[in-house]
Structure 1
Amino acid sequence: MTNALLSINKATVRFLNTTLFTGLNFNINKGESWALIGESGSGKSALLQTIAGRFNITGGEIDYHFWHDYAKFFNANDIATPHKLIALVEPKHHFRNLSNTTDFYYQQRYNSSDSEDALTVTDYLNTVPRFSHDNSSWTSEKVVSLLRLETLLSKQIIKLSNGETKRLMLAAALLKNPLLLMLDSPLTGLDVKTREEFNSIIEQITASGINVIMATSIHEIPAVITHVAVLSKGVIIHESTTQDFKPELFQTDTTDTIDSSELSALLNIDKNPATYNVIVKMDEVHIKYGDKVILDNVNWQINPGEHWALLGPNGAGKSTLLSLINGDNPQAYANNIVLFDKKRGTGESIWDIKKKIGFVSPELHQYFPTDNSCLQVIESGYYDTLGLFRPSNKERAEIALRWMKALEIAKYARVLLKNIPASAQRLCLLARALIKNPALLIFDEPCQGMDDHQQLHFKNLVDTICSLGNVTLIYVTHYQHEIPNSVDKVLRLDKGKVVS
């Protein structure tokens, strides 16, 4: 029996008409756990997808040694392909509704009748296929305890926060008792407490005999990881043990320049001359679903030109609070909420509200249709639609391209959104939020998946926008260093209550 777990030898890997890897070599031995690092678009996610069997290998080979070992001791007919012994946790979930006929849609979690068309956390975990082998140690009770899901078991999966969803996806992967667990940016969306616990979680996973490969930031390599591979432009440029790895040699370029004159010009195109006395005012806002209180008597006033950070752990109620402002939550009508000087329910439409707001969130990214080109996605921001459903306007498309240049993603203009890296997808949605020069910007975890340079550039861009105009900002993040310098006010939620 060989000590090798997986071998990729001189592989050419293709997806559609694109060659992702040429002459790819990557070898993993039993007992090793690997971190994949590199700048955005370097090939980290593509390597995980290749191992998971999602892409075509047109040259060379990939050998799943662990599958051959499994077949010697268990019924290979139960595992028709090696990929069933692999679990891949991706940045996006693939939840389906109860009838398994359609995917969920954006805003569904806030509509009481439609949100019931979803499995509970318990039901979802019960649907996970499981395979037996000598390391089958992960049970429902064990994953629920490890990932702190006890209080979520009766909750519909569509109602989970971004961080809660990430914990559920990892729990489901462990229930499969895989021989190889692959994690794509597993720490994005997790609050400080869960990130601090992550070292212990990965340590318990590897101690159970599961090999781990994770794509992660150079700053977030768990202590239990034994090896590091650095990727750049589809090539593995470095491999070493974690002990010998020198991160200072592979830091992402953090030099940055902002074209303030171009940004000022963009911010003055079709600028809305309207002025407001109050952007948001909430008095004793109370939201509940069944017996579960989500927001508990929240008071919050946001005045024009103020820059707020909205902070709190996973499940604190931040997304629900934002949904009341962005017009997505019908319970706004049952509460005392003023938006742009008008009380909700006094005649304004959802579209009247949305045209004044530039919004991006993990949920919007999750459900945004991906069959438009990136330029079309950004132009759709003028119409507040999820994609462009009308002929492109030449002048507006040119403005969209200028925003793409400002965000350093112009090379993707004619590429379908689904065919670009996840970090670039987020930047497209950020450009979509900015293009109409709204009075209020709501950025909910906008830097997820971005490399160091992208994060710095976006942070500088936000600070420049705030310095050039009277825009109002709400910024949500779990990382203190991501908060723009222009933010000078904080609302902190915990268990639905304002705590500071």
Structure 2
Amino acid sequence: MPHSFLSINSITVRYLNNTLFTGLNFIVKKGEHWALIGESGSGKSALLHTIAGRFNITGGAVDHYFFDEFVKDHGQPETLLTYHQLVALVEPKHHFRNLSNTADFYYQQRYNSSDSEDALTVEQYLATVKPTHGKPVYWTYEKTTTLLKLGELLQKQIIKLSNGETKRLMIAAALLKNPALLLLDSPLTGLDVQTRAAFNAVIDEIIASGVTLIMATSPYEIPAAITHVAVLKNGAIIQALPKELFNAELFLQNDKDEVDNKELKALLNEGTNKIPYQFIVKMNKVHIQYGEKVILDGINWQITPGERWALLGPNGAGKSTLLSLINGDNPQAYANDIILFDKKRGTGESIWDIKSKIGFVSPELHQYFPTDNSCLQVIESGYYDTLGLFRLSQKTKADTALRWMKALEIEQYARVLLKNIPASAQRLCLLARALIKNPDLLIFDEPCQGLDAHQQHHFKTLVDTICSMSNVTLIYVSHYQQEIPESVTKVLRLERGKNIS
């Protein structure tokens, strides 16, 4: 019978004023690798943080047998070693710091050349990561960068990485610590089709090196090397079984999804006084380059009112940079032939004029959005295009924000600080923030990241309903074909900065 690797015994876990787990039991044997499955807010991320030692346990006990075995085999080093140093957690959000280490990165920093220089390159960042236990290691710098295909990115500043490239870097940094236990929270989020397809091989090699793996993931994206599945609901493990006995189809939620069309129509008619435009976007031979690196090469793109576009391409293809030119975040727009809302960039319009006509959400916006406002305040800030509400709330606007929260099924979080709700609910708050002012253009960059199956389906239905009721223009980015709304009829596909469709 396999020896125990980790044993969680009837623990109670509290965070802030919330009880996350009561009487929770979870046992991992040597040679087992677990997938955590569950709806948004079920406790998957909280369990990973608990295992990593991030939350206080107020009752019960956790036995870290893997740590006892390590000390038995290697001895206690001169510097005090705890189990924490044998655990690596890869979260959905990164925690990179400026090169000067004086402040966190901010949202638009990657597009401002002088400020983006205040960032480590991938090579420099990985050089700061050392094994925590000082023993002979398997995961060397060369082996790790090869496995995660980081060779071409080594001289790139981390602030300029795409969402998927950042995820690969975070996994590489975790491996360089040479942990006994690797915890991955939604590791496939933001990865393109090719990288997701290769992920099984990555997991196989990690496990073959002797690392035990526990990961939170979708029931439809469980790697082949995973041996067991735990299903969570409302902070409890309701099933724990070998993977071959787990049926993802039984996990599918069959609840009927309904959108209140009458309420949605009323919300879409609020404050509408649309100006007719000939072009929402018109780009002519757009070229973006940083040093020797060409990001966009000769892009031509015309978007007229009411068109719904999918913007597709692998990680690092230039999609986020292209969107930054439209959303007013990239100063290189002034050096290119770009017309937005019938005005050529550089003819007197301000960034705020542009942003007032756009509802925008992206993984990067979620990464850098301040979290100390209540969810209701975050959504109301969409009226002003600010990253948070920096003025007194207006009751009529707050009431509309709450109505949008109800439309997205997150009204229970209205008075809760953004940082204290599940990541999926945070993303839905930012989606409501993008919708609240009924903009002429919606830009949804991977909007379904981290949402569970019901949330994804509900949001997709909501977008299609909005498109059927209005003449809103839409740009939609996703690495998953099934997430793209039915209302999308046009496609721009990028590869290595070039338009290939």
Give distance in 1, aligned partners of 2:427 and 2:102: 27
Equivalent-residue separation in structure 2 for 1:130 and 1:214 (angstroms): 21
**Which residue in the other structure is 2:446 paired with?**
445
Residues 1:45 and 2:50 are matched in the alignment: no
In the alignment, does 2:13 pair up with 1:13? yes
Q: Which amino acid is 1:56 matched to? A: N
**1:368 paired to 2:369:** yes
- Partners in 2 of 1:358 and 1:470 — Cα distance? 14
Q: Is 1:310 paired with 2:311?
A: yes
- Structure 1 residue runs of 5 or longer lacking an equivalent are none
1:386 is aligned to: 387
Q: Secondary structure at the match of 2:494?
A: strand
Aligned partners of 2:89, 2:253: CA distance in 1, in Å? 26
- Pairwise CA distance, 1:133: 7.4
Paired amino acid for 1:127: T
Using the alignment, how far apart are the partners of 1:149 and 1:272 within structure 2? 49
Task: Tell me how far 1:245 sits from its aligned partner.
Answer: 1.5
Which secondary structure state, in structure 2, belongs to the residue aligned with residue 467 of structure 1? helix
CA contact (8 A) 2:2 2:30 kept: no
CA offsets, 1:432-475, max 9 Å, x none? Answer: 00000000000000000101100000000000000001000000
Q: Which residue is 1:99 aligned to?
A: 100
Hey, what's the Cα distance between the residues in 1 that align with 2:153 and 2:289? Answer: 15
8 Å contact from structure 1 (residues 359, 441) kept in 2? yes
* Cα deviation digits, residues 78-124 of structure 1 (max 9, x gap): 45321110000000000001111211000000000000000000000
Q: How does 1:168-247 map to 2 (within 5 A)?
A: 168-247=169-248
Q: 2: CA distance between counterparts of 1:135 and 1:382?
A: 55
Is the contact between residue 143 and residue 171 of structure 1 (CA under 8 Å) also seen in structure 2?
yes
Q: State the secondary structure of the residue aligned to 2:430.
A: helix
- SS at 1:490 equivalent: strand
Residue 57 of structure 1 aligns with an amino acid whose one-letter code is I
- Kept in 2, the 8 Å contact 1:310–1:474? The answer is yes
Separation (CA, whole Å) in 2 of partners of 1:376 and 1:89:
29
**In 1, Cα distance between equivalents of 2:248 and 2:387:** 40
User: Residue 436 of structure 1 corresponds to which residue in structure 2?
Assistant: 437
Residue 131 of structure 2 is matched in structure 1 by 130
Q: Distance in 1 between matches of 2:425 and 2:136?
A: 38
CA shift digits 1:136-182 (9 cap, x unpaired): 21111111111111100000000000000000000000111100000
Query: Which letter does structure 2 place at the counterpart of 1:446?
Result: P
Shift of 1:272: 3.0
Shift of 1:30: 1.2
Rate the CA distance shift 1:79–1:229 in 2: closer, same or farther, 3 A: farther
Partner residue, 2:423:
422
SS at match of 2:244: coil
On the 8 A contact 2:24/2:236 being kept in 1, the answer is: yes
Give the Cα–Cα distance (whole angstroms) in 1 for the partners of residues 273 and 169 of structure 2: 43
1:223, 1:273 → 2: CA distance?
A: 51
Q: CA deviation at 1:249?
A: 2.6
CA distance in structure 1 between the aligned counterparts of 2:68 and 2:96, rounded to whole angstroms: 31
Give the counterpart letter for 1:288 in structure 2. Q
Displacement after TM superposition at 1:248 (Å): 2.7
CA contact (8 A) 1:252 1:451 kept: no
The aligned amino acid for 2:19 is T
- Range moving further from structure 2, 255-264 or 159-168: 255-264
Q: CA deviation at 1:254?
A: 5.0
Aligned pairs (5 A) from 1:258-407: 258-407=259-408
Q: Per-residue displacement from partner, 1:224-276 (whole Å, max 9, x unpaired)? A: 00000000010000000011212233223452101111100000101132111
Deviation digits for residues 327-379 of structure 1 (CA, Å, limit 9, x no counterpart): 00000000000000000000000000000000000000000000100000000
Distance in 2, Cα, partners of 1:283 & 1:244: 55
Paired residue secondary structure (2:245):
coil
The answer on whether the counterparts of 2:289 and 2:296 sit within 8 Å (CA) in structure 1 is yes
8 Å Cα contact 1:285-1:297 kept in structure 2: yes
Amino acid across the alignment from 1:311? L
2:158 corresponding residue in structure 1: 157
For structure 1, which segment, 243-252 or 28-37, has the greater mean C-alpha deviation from structure 2 after superposition? 243-252
Task: Specify the alignment match of 1:55 in structure 2.
Answer: 55
CA contact (8 A) 1:332 1:344 kept: yes
User: What secondary structure, in the 3-state scheme, does the structure 1 residue paired with 2:419 have?
Assistant: helix
Any idea what the Cα deviations from partners look like across 1:467-490, whole Å, max 9, x if unmatched? 001000000000000000000000
Which position in structure 2 is the counterpart of 1:485?
Answer: 486
Q: Distance in 2 between matches of 1:273 and 1:292?
A: 40
The answer on whether the counterparts of 1:37 and 1:216 sit within 8 Å (CA) in structure 2 is yes
When normalised by structure 2's length, the TM-score is: 0.98
Retained in 2: the 8 A contact 1:122–1:153? yes
Which residue does the alignment assign to 1:86? 87
Shift of 1:131: 3.5
1:65-84 superposed matches below 5 A: 65-77=65-77, 78-84=79-85
- What's 1:22 paired with? 22
Deviates more, 1:294-303 or 1:268-277: 268-277
Overall identity of the aligned pairs, in %: 73
Quote the residue 1:455 is aligned against: 456
Contact 1:14 1:58 in 2 (8 A): yes
Q: Is the 8 A contact 1:181 1:211 kept in 2?
A: yes
> In structure 2, how many angstroms separate the alpha carbons of the residues matched to 1:146 and 1:306?
41
| Preserved contact between residue 440 and residue 471 of structure 1 (Cα < 8 Å) | yes
Contact 2:39 2:233 in 1 (8 A): yes
Worse-matched range after superposition: 407-416 or 126-135:
126-135
1:134 Cα deviation from its structure 2 partner: 7.2
TM-superposed CA distance for 1:135, in Å, is 7.3
Distance in 2 separating the partners of 1:229 and 1:334: 53
Letter in 2 for 1:425: Q
Say which is worse superposed, 156-165 or 242-251, in terms of deviation: 242-251
Q: Distance in 2 between matches of 1:446 and 1:143?
A: 30
Secondary structure at 1:109 match in 2: helix
8 Å CA contact 2:2, 2:31 repeated in 1 = no
- The DSSP-based 3-state class of the residue aligned with 2:107 is coil
CA distance in 1, matches of 2:41, 2:253: 12
Contact 2:81 2:133 in 1 (8 A): no
Q: What is the DSSP-based 3-state SS (H/G/I as helix, E as strand, rest coil) of the residue aligned with 1:13?
A: strand
**Does structure 1 retain, via aligned residues, the 8 Å contact 2:86–2:133?**
no
Shift of 1:73: 2.8
2:354 aligned counterpart, secondary structure: helix
Structure 1 range deviating more: 128-137 or 93-102: 128-137
The structural deviation recorded for 1:75 is 4.3
Output the CA distance in 2 between the equivalents of 1:162 and 1:420. 22
Letter in 2 for 1:195: R
Q: Report if aligned partners of 1:254, 1:452 keep a CA contact under 8 Å in 2.
A: no
Give SS of 1:243's match: helix
How many residues get paired? 500
